[in-house]
Structure 1
Amino acid sequence: MMRFAGPALSAALFVSTASFAQQADEPVLKGAAAFGDWRADKPGTRRLIRPDDLPKPNATRSTSNSAGIADMPADAKLQLPPGFSAELVASGIDNPRVVRVAPNGDLFVADSKANQVRIYRLAEGSAKPAQDGIFAGNLNRPYGIAFYPPGADPQWVYVANSDSIVRFAYRNGDLKASGDPETIVGNIPASHHWTRDIAFSPDGKTLYLSVGSGSNVAEDMGREPKGGLDAWAKSQPLGAAWGSEDGRADVLAFDPDGKNGRIFAAGLRNCSGMTVQPATGALWCVVNERDALGDNVPPEYATVVKEGAFYGWPWYYIGNNEDPRHKGERPDLAGKTTVPDVLMQAHSAPLTIAFYEGKSFPAEYKGDAFVALHGSWNRGNRTGYKVVRLLFKDGRPTGAYEDFITGFVVSNGEVWGRPVGVAIASDGALIVSEDGNGTIWRVTHGDGPS
């Protein structure tokens, strides 16, 4: 059942962050120091992980170390940089995942396990919903949401189910779908990694779809495709997988009507979140890399997705590093792997990304990106469970990132929050969803909630 924070609870959840001031001369953590774990996390901590910093695979034992989910404390506090505060928008949601902001400012939230998309219309300058409801139900683990055509007056809202893309007729201000969904893309493989994100190119001519792998590292794919590897490599995009992984670990592209499907880029094990960078029009995605190679191998990453590029999975990772489980299988791909732009702590599980183009945060935030890290399960020293800020300069990533929201971890064995969705509200606030306790938050800058 949905429940909202009343005045007393909202006041209790308001966060004072003065104790987390970042020291201007605090060094950027690099190399092994950047790997760390949740105990070193705090707003303002910066990390820079480079491809040359990676240890050898299996330098540490691979560990199953899932966090227990604790109830959200009555005095829950999100830890934020100085000058920022957070208020609860909603709680008690089954499984809030991706959040997208409609042109009129409404928040669309994929409630994935409930098979529905929720909608929230916030009171002006407030975290309090003035209206809320279910925009559409009877879906199949919905995740990605996009408005078409891009711009101020969309005619459709597209929703990515685990096995299809559907769209609903839409006009600004609609609080409920006015008709049945139209299937645009069907028969998407839905097993294992099921989160399907979608985005449109700025000109509206291309619909992008991310489809994660059906396994950790293509254990059941087979060493060669039918007809032989040479013939496959000559007829398929660079790095395309086959068999049970055919059309997976890819970003696919379609016309807006779902036709003309093709592989846009390959070798992205699980691109769980996509967005278009406003400053450049480039497609970005955040990727969950493979497991069972140790605590710090390979890093997760955020990257520009380049058409025709191959990002390594399952044969290579972070450039020309060969996965020992596929040693010698694809020498033809050696040296052809695109190195991602921003490397993050291994097993952090980045799920969504949003660029900041609002005006209510300090000027230095403009052009940077926020990423939600859902948190590790395959790491002896737990990491993730936070929202980080990717640092850009002149529209280009520096490679460094900074902890922005922490405080979701209760102890070494329990967490109360697992960040999933990040979105920028029309008033410049940052909206964050987490699915540990099913909450949505609004983060603002200034002298407290407005």
Structure 2
Amino acid sequence: MDFLARATAIVGGAMVLMRRAGAPRTAAVGSTPAIPPARNQGIMTLKMPTARGWAPGQRPMAAPGLSVNAFASGLDHPRWIEVLPDGGVLVAEALQQARPPKGLMDRVTQATMRRAKAIGISANRISLWRDNDGDGVAEQREVFLDGLNQPFGMALVDDRFYVGNTDGIIAYDFRPGMRRPEGPGTRLVSFKPGGHWTRSLIVSPDRRRIYAGVGSLSNIAEDGMEVEEGRAAIWELDLATGAARIFASGLRNPVGMAWEPQTGTLWTVVNERDGLGDETPPDYLTSVQDGGFYGWPYCYWGQTIDDRVPQDPEMVARALTPDYALGGHTASLGLCWMPAGTLPGFPDGMVIGQHGSWNRSTLSGYKLIFVPFANGRPSGPPRDILWGFLSPDERESYGRPVGVVVGPDGKSLLMADDVGDVIWRVTGE
């Protein structure tokens, strides 16, 4: 596999140089992005940096007026964060697990992903961290739940703790004063595992429903739509009745979700399809309508047809245009609402953890960004909060941003870094 990974890097490097010559120079970002025409690549660009991690004393770079420190370290692929009412910080530690390869391309992809620390043995646990002395560094660590199945999203509602495993939502009894949930847990909803495996969760403002992001199995439904049934969607679970339904669909891989408080609207970040070029189509941030359809796999950014896919004109006619483009292949995963005053100099808006690309000639993402909002809508260009996760020559990654939340103190951000195995804390200087 090491040989295959090295061979892939050599061949991939040649393809990258060839495609870079015609690559767009402007990122497709904002409410009215300039999206280049599709260029069907056939064999997709593979350019995934080797996972290096952080050297002692090394850390990301922060925007002026901000500082960053390691809140927790020594984790095993931290992906998602949930803050408990008592200030405890839960971290889901999980990793994509390799399936039996179907052919040479699968072997090549898996070898590349292992080099990038993107697949392997999953820790399958949720750890609990506490900063008891308030110095911004957690000194207490416990196992909160283990023996899970690629856990990701977490939610606490009254005396029940919910986990988004890759194959469904599990509920546990958890009352104030308990150190960890009791019992084996109860399955409330089942999802098809694999593919885009993350299952983010968010609780409705009235605490009556949970929403879950379920990504597609494939890039463009190349294995058929039957295996994609129930996927590429955001699900809604009614906690009182146990009824579950698809809330919105046509979302290739919706991961982070957040509520915009002024309008009470649900927003999500979505990873779009591969193989059409560096900026085509862009990943996006969008409001989510009940019953809304957002195009996948037939079309993107409204009714732009993907001619690699057998078409359904009725579904294309229904497709909604997303609200805000985030650039091509940024792998925008983490999302949280950040009220004005949380960090100095930042108004109301959304914070987005961009995991970073692996499939474009010049890499994108690999940073934590902020999109300002006004009157319930994005209101300006994105601003960088953290960067420096990628080496200047793009050959190595020190870290990769994933989940992000407002810290327990309300004056900081916590961000999971699943290559650096760190939870970073961002505050004012």
TM-score, normalising length: structure 1? 0.79
For the pair 1:190 / 2:199, whether they are aligned, the reply is no
Question: In the TM superposition, what are the counterparts of 1:139-218 in structure 2 within 5 Å?
Answer: 139-148=148-157, 154-172=158-176, 174-186=178-190, 188-218=191-221
Q: Which residue of 2 aligns with 1:444?
A: 427
> Matched residues in 2 for 1:52 and 1:164: separation?
35
- SS of the aligned residue for 1:333 comes to helix
> Matched residues in 2 for 1:87 and 1:432: separation?
11
Structure 1 residues 269-313: Cα deviation after superposition (integer angstroms, max 9, x where no partner): 001111222333211111111111111110001111110111010
Which one of 242, 255, 270 corresponds to residue 259 of structure 1? 242
What is the alpha-carbon root mean square deviation over aligned residues?
A: 2.0
> Matched residues in 1 for 2:378 and 2:163: separation?
29
Contact 1:119–1:175 (Cα < 8 Å) also in 2: no
**Hey, which of these two has a bigger chunk of strand by percent?**
2
- SS of the aligned residue for 1:251 comes to strand
> Matched residues in 1 for 2:350 and 2:139: separation?
28
Contact 2:351–2:370 (Cα < 8 Å) also in 1: yes
Structure 1 residues 302-332: Cα deviation after superposition (integer angstroms, max 9, x where no partner): 11111011101000101110012126x2222
Q: Which residue of 2 aligns with 1:407?
A: 388
Which one of 73, 79, 90 corresponds to residue 97 of structure 1? 79
For the pair 1:392 / 2:373, whether they are aligned, the reply is yes
| Amino acid across the alignment from 2:143 | I
- SS of the aligned residue for 1:53 comes to coil
> Matched residues in 2 for 1:331 and 1:48: separation?
27
Structure 1 residues 383-424: Cα deviation after superposition (integer angstroms, max 9, x where no partner): 111111011113321263122110111232111101111010
- SS of the aligned residue for 2:205 comes to coil
Closer, same or farther: CA 82–192 of 1 in aligned 2, 3 Å: same
Question: CA shift at 1:141, angstroms?
Answer: 0.4
Question: CA shift at 1:266, angstroms?
Answer: 0.7
Which one of 349, 355, 363 corresponds to residue 374 of structure 1? 355
Which stretch shifts more, 57-66 or 70-79?
57-66
5+ unaligned residues in a row in structure 2: which ranges?
1-23, 95-121
Q: Which residue of 2 aligns with 1:65?
A: 47
Which stretch shifts more, 255-264 or 91-100?
255-264
Closer, same or farther: CA 368–50 of 1 in aligned 2, 3 Å: closer
Which stretch shifts more, 109-118 or 269-278?
269-278
Which one of 406, 409, 424 corresponds to residue 424 of structure 1? 406
Which stretch shifts more, 266-275 or 163-172?
163-172
Closer, same or farther: CA 147–371 of 1 in aligned 2, 3 Å: same
Structure 1 residues 111-160: Cα deviation after superposition (integer angstroms, max 9, x where no partner): 11211111111135322224221111110000001121xxxxx3222110
> Matched residues in 2 for 1:172 and 1:370: separation?
30
Closer, same or farther: CA 368–173 of 1 in aligned 2, 3 Å: farther
| Amino acid across the alignment from 2:126 | V
Question: CA shift at 1:333, angstroms?
Answer: 2.8
Q: Which residue of 1 aligns with 2:140?
A: 131
> Matched residues in 1 for 2:179 and 2:340: separation?
24
Q: Which residue of 2 aligns with 1:53?
A: 34
Question: CA shift at 1:381, angstroms?
Answer: 0.6
Q: Which residue of 2 aligns with 1:151?
A: none
Closer, same or farther: CA 302–52 of 1 in aligned 2, 3 Å: closer
Closer, same or farther: CA 283–173 of 1 in aligned 2, 3 Å: farther
> Matched residues in 2 for 1:358 and 1:138: separation?
39
For the pair 1:106 / 2:107, whether they are aligned, the reply is no
Contact 2:29–2:327 (Cα < 8 Å) also in 1: no
Contact 1:51–1:318 (Cα < 8 Å) also in 2: no
Closer, same or farther: CA 110–326 of 1 in aligned 2, 3 Å: same
Q: Which residue of 2 aligns with 1:365?
A: 346
Sequence identity percentage: 36
